[in-house]
Amino acid sequence: MSHLDLVLHADNAVVDGAVRAVSVGIRDGVIAVLDPEPGTHSISRQATTPPGTVLMPGLVDTHVHVNDPGTDWEGFATATAAAAAGGVTTIVDMPLDCDPVTTSTAALAAKRAAAEGHCRVSVGFWGGVVPENVDTPQVLAELRAAGCLGFKCFLADSGNAAFPPLDADQLGRAMEAVATLDSVLLVHAELLPAGAVIGGPAYVDFLHSRPDAAEVGAVSLVLEQVRRTGARTHIVHVSSAEVLPLLAAAKADGLPVTAETCPHYLSFDAAQIPCEATEYAVCPPIRQADNRERLWAALGGGVLDMVVSDHSPCAPHLKPAGDFRAAFGGISSLQLGLRAVWTQARRRGVTLPQVCRWMAAQPAALAGLTDRGRIAVGTRADLTVFDPAASEPVDATRLHHRHPVTPYHGRHLDGAVLQTWVAGRQVDAVVAA
């Protein structure tokens, strides 16, 4: 008779792409058995999920800006508390908007030191590729060997002088290095002429200054280099539906390319953004309603692979009302991603198993985290208990994010995360708030 630390019983659970009743047997933080037969295991503890809820795999958010060390914009304590409260059991931190930026093993060590003892969920790290290190493959190899899950670069101004963009030749060399390392390159794909961004209070002016063509040109360049190098490549935060035919063709040709979009692109409509509402400022920008529907269709058709937050907070004074050019480009949403996506998904007949594929399984695969993102024997017992019928307005002051600035404030979102389990242990996010 084998031993189980916990058996968690659920009337509804997302397993193998469907919803069914399940009993999850957990040993040493890992799912050891599903539906254990009576009398075959000694069990230390049993628990049952609340009626009407759905047991889901813990979400994996591979696009989170924790901005630690070096800023007061977020931090590992607040970010991971927000993640846990949102059903996210693993985050992967982006390499910019921290000081130092994560472009060397020394910087990675500093980031790990900042995270030590402050994390309520699992944390991984992307390394950065910038002009300074693109031609020093040893630095990239050292970052990979030190545990970076892959690499991130920009093709447009990142907003941080310490993390400049790559030009076309440097992008090609970065892909060659990443291919040699058998890793993945994440690309912020915008190409903008100098001085293109327009300021002022009107969102439409900001939107016109970052047109669809900026994404189309950048994605075209990236795909040319993917064809040449064979490097596994991921396009982050797809905003423009005009790039979808390019991605579809690349996938049809068997190129190793994936792409993501974000809850804000699936939720908001540029025509509804008020003047001076710089909490909506993000790059690339939120586009029109018809564009949003094409993104949803692309998720359903597999052209877009996943939905991740691009949680990019900043101190409130960096989002001054009235000038979109002066505002820091980023949306704070880590705690709200699942609810935001579910609110829109259920209106379109999208199921929770589909949402779990986009927000758990596929991001885990991108980061090479094969031990999570699914409820299956042998995977880590990272789980979330979700009430899909709940609905309430967002109060930004009650979120675990360090600063109460988010465009979701006051909006009714469906669903509620009731429990989050990391490696078989229930997380109390409130402690870290």
Q: What confidence score (pLDDT) does residue 325 get? A: 83
Residue 196 has pLDDT above 80, yes or no: no
Tell me the CA distances in angstroms from 252 to 194, 237, 257, one per residue in order. Answer: 34, 21, 11
Q: What confidence score (pLDDT) does residue 286 get? A: 98
What is the SS3 string spanning the chain? CEEECEEEEEEEEEECCEEEEEEEEEECCEEEEECCCCCCEEECCEEECCCCCEEEECEEEEEECCCCCCCCCCCHHHHHHHHHHCCEEEEEECCCCCCCCCCCHHHHHHHHHHHCCCCCCEEEECEECCCCCCCCHHHHHHHHHCCCCCEEEECCCCCCCCCCCCCHHHHHHHHHHHHHCCCEEEEECCCCCCCCCCCCCCHHHHHHHCCHHHHHHHHHHHHHHHHHHCCEEEECCCCCHHHHHHHHHHHHCCCCEEEEECHHHHHCCHHHCCCCCHHHCCCCCCCCHHHHHHHHHHHHHCCCCEECCCECCCCHHHCCCCCCCCCCCCECCHHHHHHHHHHHHHHCCCCHHHHHHHHHHHHHHHCCCCCCCCCCCCCECCEEEEEEEEEEECCHHHCCCCCCCCCCCCCEEEEEEEEEEECCEECCHHHHC
Write the pLDDT tens digit of every residue in 45-66: 999 999 999 999 999 999 999 9
Write the pLDDT tens digit of every residue in 80-125: 999 999 999 999 999 999 999 999 999 999 999 999 999 999 999 9
Q: What confidence score (pLDDT) does residue 324 get? A: 87
What mean pLDDT is predicted for residues 363-374?
98
What mean pLDDT is predicted for residues 368-386?
98
Percent of the chain with pLDDT over 90: 93
Residue 431 has pLDDT above 70, yes or no: no
> Could you tell me the residue ranges of all domains in the chain?
57-374
Dihedral sign, Cα of residue 128, residue 131, residue 137, residue 139: negative
Residue 132 has pLDDT above 80, yes or no: yes
Q: What confidence score (pLDDT) does residue 328 get? A: 93
Residue 137 has pLDDT above 90, yes or no: no
Q: What confidence score (pLDDT) does residue 199 get? A: 67
Q: What confidence score (pLDDT) does residue 432 get? A: 33
Write the pLDDT tens digit of every residue in 259-311: 999 999 999 999 999 999 999 999 999 999 999 999 999 999 999 999 999 99
Write the pLDDT tens digit of every residue in 393-410: 999 999 999 999 999 999
Average pLDDT, the chain: 96
Residue 255 has pLDDT above 90, yes or no: yes
What CATH architecture does domain 57-374 belong to?
Answer: Alpha-Beta Barrel (3.20)
Residue 413 has pLDDT above 50, yes or no: yes
Q: What confidence score (pLDDT) does residue 200 get? A: 80
